[in-house]
Amino acid sequence: MRVALATSARALRIRARAFSSVNLIPDEPTQPVVHTPSVPGPASLAISREIDRVQDSRSHTLVVDYQRSRGNYLVDADGNVLLDVLNQISSIALGYNVPDMLDIGHSPEFVAYALNRPALGMFPPVEWARLLREGLLTVAPQGLDHIVTTLCGSSANENAFKAAFMAYRARERGDDASFSQEELDSVMNNQEPGAPKLSVLSFKMGFHGRLFGSLSATRSKAIHKLDIPAFDWPSAPFPELQYPLDAHAAENAAEEARCIEAYEQILIAQKSTQPVAAVIVEPVLAEGGDKHASPEFFRQIRLIARKHGAFFIADEVQTGVGATGRFWAHEKWGLAPGDEPDFVTFSKKMQAAGFYHKPETRPNAPYRNFNTWMGDPMRALQAKQTIALIKKHDLVAHTASTGRELAAALADVFARFPNIVSGHRGQDDGTFQAFDFTTPAQRDAFCAKMKRAGVQIGGCGDRSVRLRPTLTFGETHVAILAEAMEKVLKEL
């Protein structure tokens, strides 16, 4: 079945001339090919068993042949070619083995960084300022012209927390004040005032990582947190919107107002126990089930945070780098200059990781937000090339356009399965879309059958499926995905 798309044939021809994934990946496969009766197949399962002898393999989905994977298609150990709309948990920006990216891997700079990894905080390479200036800083969010590079999304958030705590205490004691002897002595025993009783407020169903601080702010699934000691930090309710949005405008406005009121009351109450130094939120609560809220909700929680003296962190680890049809998803909030987040964290599609911030949140002394690597210039070089290709091919606009085609195609498919699929959302967020099944078991069966139909797709939350294609994902991929989804939905 060929899914009819809303875009006219003429518009599609114009789009095809403007950009196609083959412009960047000429040898990308044209369709999925599945050789084995089930996926994962025997070779993939055998390799997982071998790995399991020395490393837990129970989370394996597939064993991948990365040398053979191309563009939007992943090739597994059995030679199955799958259209990938999960992309290493939303971490592949352009596709597998993009020739222009492979060229970077052969450059003298890349090889030098790979073989001589520097301790960036003490021994940066001579090119480091240029590399940041011509790469990561070219896409710095509005108002944030300083950057800290880190190792992953969890450490990006963790170090943003530390920066917020340090800036909060600097503001309390006076920016130029030195540490007291009491602070210096007490902190070595993890006691006040050197180790102050401050907190980070996050939202229910949010995910911010799995290190100690970031895990304390994570609220998506119990299995992530069990048996791990946690900071006693507060969480606020996040709106549970009803879909379709236009049919539930009044109910959703009331739900957001309820959550905003509860959020502010928590900020007020915490002042007498553990004041909130920072608020962190994802523009879409991704791991928790792709939960959305209106731009007005986000504007309000940002302004309320500042009203109560808390720094505001936009966690763009999963939403950043174009997937929502904007380079940064928080651009949709429409914040006025001066109201932008205090910190924006990034990782995943950027390949590099870290956070953007303002100069006034730089620590008052060196070695305070510090570790051996402090990022990786090899990954920063990779990010620079990724950003250059996104700009050259206007891939953020391409993703916004493809997202509209995807939304129309999915709406057409879902209309025939109203008793199975519901809650389609993200139609105005590029290809960053999701939908729900009736039960977790039904969702899991759908994802398993989609692999057999030639599509690698992933779940989130309790019963949701999320779409995380690359920025080169286009109209031909939309048609293949929709056709596979219709086939599998008929089998459920």
The catalytic position among 348, 349, 384, 451 is 348
Question: Which amino acid is present at 149?
Answer: T
The answer to whether the CB of 484 falls within 8 A of the CB of 454 is: yes
CA dist., res. 317 & res. 350, Å (int): 9
Q: Is 315 a catalytic residue?
A: yes
The catalytic position among 19, 207, 355, 437 is 207
Instruction: Please give the order of strands across the beta sheet that includes 235-236.
Output: 146-150, 353-357, 343-346, 311-315, 276-281, 199-203, 235-236
Nearest 10 degrees: CA dihedral of 214, 219, 222, 223?
Answer: -40
CA dist., res. 160 & res. 142, Å (int): 17
The answer to whether the CB of 288 falls within 8 A of the CB of 208 is: no
Q: Is 372 a catalytic residue?
A: yes
β-pair type (199-203, 276-281): parallel
- Count of beta carbons in the 10 Å neighbourhood of residue 81: 21
Q: Is 462 a catalytic residue?
A: no
Q: Is 203 a catalytic residue?
A: no
**Radius of gyration of the CA atoms of the chain, in A:** 23
The catalytic position among 315, 342, 429, 436 is 315
The helix/strand/coil state of 132 is helix
CA dist., res. 229 & res. 111, Å (int): 41
The catalytic position among 138, 372, 438, 439 is 372
The helix/strand/coil state of 305 is helix
CA dist., res. 459 & res. 403, Å (int): 19
> Distance between alpha carbon 336 and the CA centroid of its chain, in Å?
24
CA angle 50–51–52, rounded 5-degree value: 90
Q: Which residue spans within 6-105 are E strands per DSSP?
A: 73-75, 81-84
- Residues identified as active-site: 207, 315, 348, 372
